Amino acid sequence: MSFVGESGTISKATAGSEANPGDYIALLKPRVMSLVIFTAIAGLLLAPHGVNPVIGFASLLAIAVGAGASGALNMWYDADIDAIMSRTRKRPIPSGRVTGDEALAFGLTLSFLAVFTLGSVANWLAAALLAFTIFFYVVIYTMWLKRSTPQNIVIGGAAGAFPPIVAYAAATGDISLSSIVLFSIIFIWTPPHFWALALVKSADYAKAGIPMMPNVKGAAHTRLEILLYSLVLAPVGVLPWFLGFASMVYGGLAIALGAALLFLAARVYIVRTGDAADRCAKSLFGFSILYLFLLFAEIVIERSLSLGFELAARLGA
């Protein structure tokens, strides 16, 4: 990568870029980032005595930027397959708005900045966990698993599940059972969520040569695995109530949402042909997003209220 040519002028590729800030924001995968922020807020609020709002905000920002940086590095490495798939063809690198070198420099710079900011602002355990998350997503998932095994998103899903643990560590300097439970919910949620999409987009994945479950083991086996993971996810989703760090309201919500998820997963398993099968898979994909959102939203609301009452009691005393 060279920014300055032999004549001392800035090289054409860099100076002549038409990339605007929006293209760089797209490199950060804002939708994934918003999920990371949301799950990290839940992890942060699980801290027994709360956290200073400024430190909490800065930690969340560092975690979000770290997640975005790993997204940019993922797009840098996957530019070849992104150009083939309809879902990813318009991303900044395959569309030619940002070069691969620029994305690599952007991703690496933000990764270092995020890790060192989190270390300085919160603590170095959280920073180490964030660094490991970025490494896991970029090297273990993107560079290794994604193109080599149908278990890619099962193991790679850990990267997306780490934010609550990182955030809890930022607030407390420790790892707790409660943050591990949140990790488990996201980890077990990932396979049925992505395989529901893969069932619909299997031709796209096949064209790009990515060994997603439906392409390797077939749609029937994928439907069975979706059902099995959903059977595990439904009770794991109830664990926060069972272990006592969420209320009965959360428990009821988790049971109801888990039952709905199981119903949709069973429909995907039963309805196997035609447009109806695609519709069932799309319903499950959409509902899985709602499922995770509502569970974490309930935890965020409950913990915010609890910390609010605690603060009010302290001020009143």
Q: Which residues bind other proteins (CB under 8 A)?
A: 7, 9-12, 15-21, 24, 52, 54-55, 58, 61, 120-121
For the bound state, the minimum distance from the C-beta of residue 39 to other proteins, rounded and expressed in Å, comes to 22
Asked if 307 and 45 touch (Cβ cutoff 8 Å), the reply is yes
For the bound state, the minimum distance from the C-beta of residue 17 to other proteins, rounded and expressed in Å, comes to 6
For the bound state, the minimum distance from the C-beta of residue 15 to other proteins, rounded and expressed in Å, comes to 5
Joined together, the tokens standing for residue 92 give 């900044």
Beta bridge partners of 10: 4
Task: Give which of 166, 156, 154, 160 is closest to 192, Cα–Cα.
Answer: 154
Q: Distance between CA atoms of 161 and 174, rounded to whole angstroms?
A: 17
Closer CB to other proteins, 22 or 235, in the complex = 22
Residues 6+ apart with CB under 8 A from 125: 169, 173, 174, 175
Closer CB to other proteins, 16 or 244, in the complex = 16
Closer CB to other proteins, 121 or 186, in the complex = 121
Angle, alpha carbons 200-201-204 (nearest 5°): 155
HSE at residue 219, side-chain half, CA atoms within 13 A, is 19
Closer CB to other proteins, 60 or 186, in the complex = 60
For the bound state, the minimum distance from the C-beta of residue 21 to other proteins, rounded and expressed in Å, comes to 4
Q: Distance between CA atoms of 102 and 122, rounded to whole angstroms?
A: 30
For the bound state, the minimum distance from the C-beta of residue 188 to other proteins, rounded and expressed in Å, comes to 35
